Amino acid sequence: MKIALINENSQSSKNEIIYSALKKVVEPMGHEVFNYGMYGAEDPNSLTYVQNGILAAILLNSGAADYVITGCGTGEGAMLACNSFPGVICGYVVDPSDAYMFAQINDGNAIAMPFAKGFGWGAELNLQYVFERLFEGESGKGYPKDRVVPEQRNKKILDEVKKITYVDILTILKKLDQELLKGAVSGEKFKEYFFENCKDKEIGDFIREIVG
């Protein structure tokens, strides 16, 4: 699995802490981590939580990433931004039980975390435990056992609803403010990571026009 990490400007100083905890947990599982930044408070390629959502949608819909870890100060803005797009099911995760239940019940492909609220002693441990529960075994198995069938049915229903309520990602990208979009894909390592892993030629060609 290709897992992308995206941080926005207010919490960019914590990128290395999050990145290290994520790698420590998932690399032994055979997953790859791609750090799309921001890489610190001095990173010139600033991202807002809205741009986190745009970038997450591009990565997931193009196949350049299979899962996105993101967040902001409270985690709420990043979660709302991600869920504004097709092909993204983003959960709000604060602790390991949130992570486990989101994976097993909702079977999404992105999480948003609060990287300011409650981020004190033991924060790096909470990150590690969250990632352990999030990527523990196969997702979508349901929890608790007596709720497996309706939960799996509801997930399929949600997927079908989203196909109707959202237009395709290329239409959205073309209608977005192009400077906003360009800012979302201007990170230091975006070109290297994205074009190496993108599986959708149409999305790739359009993004190539944007980044030059």
pLDDT recorded at residue 175: 97
User: At CB < 8 A and 24+ separation, what contacts does 57-60 make?
Assistant: 57/82, 57/85, 57/86, 57/87, 57/88, 57/169, 57/172, 58/169, 58/173, 58/184, 58/185, 58/194, 58/203, 58/207, 59/4, 59/194, 60/87, 60/88, 60/109, 60/110
What residues make up the domain containing 60?
2-211
Whether the Cβ atoms of residue 80 and residue 207 lie closer than 8 Å to each other: no
Share of the chain above pLDDT 90, in %: 99
Average pLDDT per block of 10 residues along the chain, 212 residues long: 98 97 98 97 96 98 98 98 98 98 98 96 97 96 95 96 95 97 97 98 98 90
Q: Identify the pLDDT of residue 212.
A: 86
CATH number at residue 28: 3.40.1400.10
Contact 87, 60 (CB under 8 A): yes
Q: In sequence order, which residues have a C-beta less than 8 Å from that of residue 46 and are 6 or more positions away?
A: 9, 38, 183
Specify the residue for token string 């919490």: 11
Number of domains in the chain: 1
pLDDT tens for each residue of 73-128: 999 999 999 999 999 999 999 999 999 999 999 999 999 999 999 999 999 999 99
How far is residue 211 from each of residues 21, 169, 181, measured CA to CA in Å? 30, 17, 10
Rounded CA separation 115/73 (Å): 5
Which residues make Cβ contacts (< 8 Å) with residue 17, sequence separation at least 6? 123, 124, 127
Strand-pair category, 2-5 with 67-72: parallel
Residue 83 Cα distances to 39, 53, 63, 121, 162, angstroms: 24, 8, 17, 30, 10
According to the model, what pLDDT value does residue 37 have? 96
What is the distance between the alpha carbons of residues 156 and 161, in angstroms, rounded to a whole number? 9
